[in-house]
A = this chain, B = another copy of it.
Amino acid sequence: VTKPLRIVLCGFGNVGREVYRLLCDESPRLERLGFSPVVVGIITRSRGHVYVPTGITSEHLQMLAPKDSAAVCTTRLIEQMSADVVVEMTPLDVFSAKDVMSHARAALTSGKHVVCANKGAIAWGYDELSALASAKARLFLFECCVMDGAPIFAMVRNCLPAARILKFEGVLNSTSNYVLDKMLEGVSMEEAITMAKRAGFAESDPRLDIDGWDSAAKIAALANVFMHARINPLEVVRQGITQITCEQVQAAARGAMRIRLVASAVQRQRDVLCEVKPCRVAHSSLFGSVNHTSSVLSITTDLMGNISIVEHDPGLLQTAYGVLRDIIEVASFNK
């Protein structure tokens, strides 16, 4: 007999629906890992919520519909639903993360593990939430925040013991990378942004991608976790790609170069310097090889030298897998 793991999904947009589907479709595989996922609660912003202790089926999903009445307070719902883990998948607010923080706090305080897909929580409140999680002996996991399902946090946590991270840099924003690739083909930035929106990987406000805010949130999140930097996205030295022209992209290409929006963090004597800016890189370099929506993170350590992880053309499934990975870790902790 496998142990049930009671899950609340907070946020039910594209990622939330894909996580739900994955938990349903892959439950035989998860049972072989020793647990049965049971989605007991779904909380949405504008379509109400549903709570079914025996597990939400597709019929119950019909109950989610646009509501006229004032929304019930999300943090209260999180506290009241009886569950093992809350998966936070509400939209990112790069400038404050107030909501995601209060959701995570409510979950941890009421004794639930937290799997967080919203990078705001670690870009703004990693120290507080990880301390709260240890005080409550709960897990606070956030694998898919930066590179979808590519297990960068888990790898550093589990696979690089004793090594110190000295610096890291990456191409972390799909939309900017895609837009720069399109500009090379002569497509205007505005047009390329529209294409990225249509393809579904741009932020709801794509300016947050293009201005470097998404990368700034990601590099702050990584620096907080890897280097205890206590930095927030506003403190990242940030320059987006808005000033880049098609001519510049094409001139670079004639010199066998590419322009990439590079995010980096370096450990200095007393603090961590985090930066986001467009850089010219050789087309034949690792960063130059990362096209379209792919992303890369290069990590330099003292004992292990330099290793990189590349995620190729991620889609919704990969993001949902990042969430699933964390849910599996919760289940194995919960045994």
**Chain A residues in the interface with B (C-beta under 8 A):** 22, 26, 29-30, 33, 149-151, 154-155, 158-163, 283-286, 288-290, 298, 303-315, 317-318, 321, 324-325, 328-329
Contact = CB atoms under 8 A, between A and B. Distances in A.
A3 to B, nearest CB: 16
Given A33-B161, A161-B33, A289-B289, A308 B305 contact: no
B307 A313 contact: no
> What are the 9 closest A-B residue pairs judged by CB atoms, nearest first?
A151-B159, A306-B312, A154-B159, A308-B310, A289-B289, A283-B284, A158-B158, A161-B328, A303-B321
Contact of A314 (B26, B162, B305, B310): B305
B317 A313 contact: no
Contact of A162 (B29, B158, B288, B313): B29
A209 to B, nearest CB: 21
B155 A159 contact: yes
Contact of A307 (B286, B289, B311, B328): B311
Given A158-B158, A159-B158, A286 B304 contact: no
Contacts of A310: 286, 298, 307-310
A304 B309 CA distance: 13
Given A309-B307, A309-B308, A311-B305, A158 B154 contact: yes
Contacts of A163: 321
A205 B98 CA distance: 62
18 contacts: A26-B162, A26-B303, A149-B305, A151-B159, A154-B159, A158-B158, A159-B159, A161-B325, A162-B325, A286-B289, A289-B289, A298-B312, A304-B321, A305-B312, A305-B313, A306-B312, A307-B310, A308-B310
A324 B162 CA distance: 9
A108 to B, nearest CB: 23
A145 B289 CA distance: 27
Nearest to A291: B284
Contacts of A288: 284, 289
Given A161-B328, A289-B289, A324-B303, A309 B309 contact: yes
Given A162-B328, A286-B286, A305-B318, 15 more contacts: A26-B303, A149-B304, A151-B160, A154-B158, A159-B159, A284-B284, A285-B289, A288-B289, A303-B317, A303-B324, A304-B318, A307-B310, A307-B312, A308-B308, A308-B309
